[in-house]
Structure 1
Amino acid sequence: MSNNDVKDLNLAEGGRRRIEWAEREMPVLRLIRERFAKERPLEGVRVSACLHVTTETANLMRTLQAGGADVVLTASNPLSTQDDVAASLVVHNEIPVYAIKGEDNVTYYKHLSAALDHKPMITMDDGADLVTVMHKERRELIPNVIGSMEETTTGVIRMRAMAKDGMLSFPVVAVNDAMTKHFFDNRYGTGQSTIDGIIRATNILLAGKNFVVAGYGWCGRGLAMRARGMGANVIVTEVDPMPALEAVMDGFRVMPMEEAAQIGDIFCTLTGDLNVIDRKHFEVMKDGAIVANSGHFNVEINIPALEEMSVAKRLVRPFVDQYELKDGRQIHILGEGRLINLASAEGHPASVMDMSFANQALATEYIFKHGRELEKKVYSVPEEIDREIARLKLDAMKVKIDTLTPEQVHYLNSWQEGT
């Protein structure tokens, strides 16, 4: 494959304008890029990144490049690529990109292979596909790899499973677990962008609808909060008693999916697990039910089961497939069951991705410096990086906070004083 595979290089100018627009909302990453350009801490390192190809990702790639990295980018989801952004990175930044919105699975894995042909020293994943393919099919590349970063909950789960089985061949930094990532990106970013994707795809009114949120992790919390803000009656389904209890205390109805399936108007999965909405749930859903996913992979909705149950299928709107069941009921699947916030919308707002990608950039620098000293397991982002990103974000927002006095520091580090 040549040094790029994108839809149309003529889209590049429009992509550049949108990348520049996103940059206005990414002051932390901009500050890091300015430092990287002066210090060149990534000089000579080959980076292969498997991420959603969006305007925000483009600014991360520009930052790594400013730091001296030799970067290649491929898509982490067949429906999430913004084709004008992919074109701009190739034309204006000379970064090889392998990503086309709507590519089939064969092309998707060809693109992963092309990114691995770069012989990366550091990889960057959003869902762990790149690292998994390397471990399964391209093991000759592993000795070159210093380490990797993982952006998503789904990917971190996969990486920890690999480490537990003794199969992980290099250290991985769980960028997803940084507080400045999951507190903000997962909660506020996923919450807003998922609502955006559902509304763009369907143009329905959320107020008064029964909105079922499957999973009450940080992404589910964010979506439940935003759906309630739009006037929906939010129902949460969970398998873990702790977040289920939290959802109850936050004022949401909590019940098993089998019960929710009978009364829900809109469903969205955010769990990272398999068949969260299954055949038995489709069997009892209302006529006209809308089903979407905002977890990383399209396995959370058992679409093959729905296919078997259906007598007809048609595309009624862009990103809306209508399945007609034998009894005449119609169920609508959004975005082929893939990430609806990126399939029909633009993903997270740039201001939250600013913190996520600042973590990616600084974790890349950290891995390049320290990766050879680390064990072959999954690591959290160092706390000093997380706190520095929070500090920079507050500065950019012109928000000031207090600092401890010497007396307060002494008190917090002592045990002698009591009641």
Structure 2
Amino acid sequence: MSERSEQSPAQKSWPVVGIFLIMFISGLAFSRDFVLPVLLALLLALVFRPVRTGLNRVGIPHALAAFAITGTLLVGLFSSAYVLSGPVERWIEDAPRIMARVERKIDALRDSVDAVAEAADRIDEMARRAESGSSDSTPRLEVEAQESSSIVTKVLTTTPVIVGQLMFTLVLLYFLLASGDLFYRRVVQITPNFRDKRRAMQIATDIERRLSRYLSTITLINALLGISVGVMAWLIGLPDPILFGLMAFGFNFIPYVGAIAGTVITFLIGFISFDQVSFAFLGAGLYFMLTSIEGQLVTPLAVGRSLKLNPVVVFLSVAFWAWLWSVVGMIIAVPVLVVLRVFCEHIPALENLGQFLISADQGAIRDAEAEEREFRV
């Protein structure tokens, strides 16, 4: 009886941890409209802090450097929106004609399917006569088209919210960058002893270094991928190659899901645009090939071993943040994992969790290094 009643502190803390996680996730979901832009601003501040530091070294003050960075981001966002507005407006205006063309192509496919079904019925009828069996199978193809007005209404209702969150993110980013090293000074001030101060500074510096390296490298790779996809779309005759390039650039920030979504959209647009379905498969295949080369060869070589994460954990993280915060959640899923991994490397209590975050090859390398250290001892 005494053995059951006596529990270790770790066993007693598990229910508290479980309740905390449930409340924490519920709080994130409830406060998404506020927490999401704040988190984005913090991540962007960590990414652009080296840029602001470089501008400070050439004599530009904190406020002016922060204004230059946020202004450049704002111009880039408005430029992208301006480039996208033309093709999107044209696609919306041509929606009735596009839907009519889709219906004609589906009718053609339906005729082919009906011909195959009719042949199958004849074969079944012959089989029933020969074996006195019965079989009745008639494939049906049903297609439901949504009206373009509902899409326009949804875009008009969600655009002000998105623009407001973007402006809030940029304003907060400006204040974070303009504050200089205030964050680091406050971290040093609130930690109780020198050991904790040193660890906190190491964590903050490591997070800044890794996030800057990861996001800058991924942004460059995605830009090159967008150019490659745009050239591919232009060569095979897809409409609006610039739109395809921007789509590939944005989608590739989302691991796994972005490549699949881009491939599907490329096929659908090719199906609408080309007279032959084979060209639609060609465009989708080339898009998938380019993203596969990027994901399997270019990114692993460019990112390096120190940022490799467990693919299963990455996929689960993308799914979790997509469920919690939709598309933007999928974009920040990997940066959040990078930050969590840094904490796991510097805090001994989180070391076991850190083992789940690293990739298999890096885990094998770490095990080999640990065995070598034990052998030397």
TM-score by length of 2: 0.26
More strand by proportion, 1 or 2?
1
Rg larger for: 2
TM-score by length of 1: 0.24
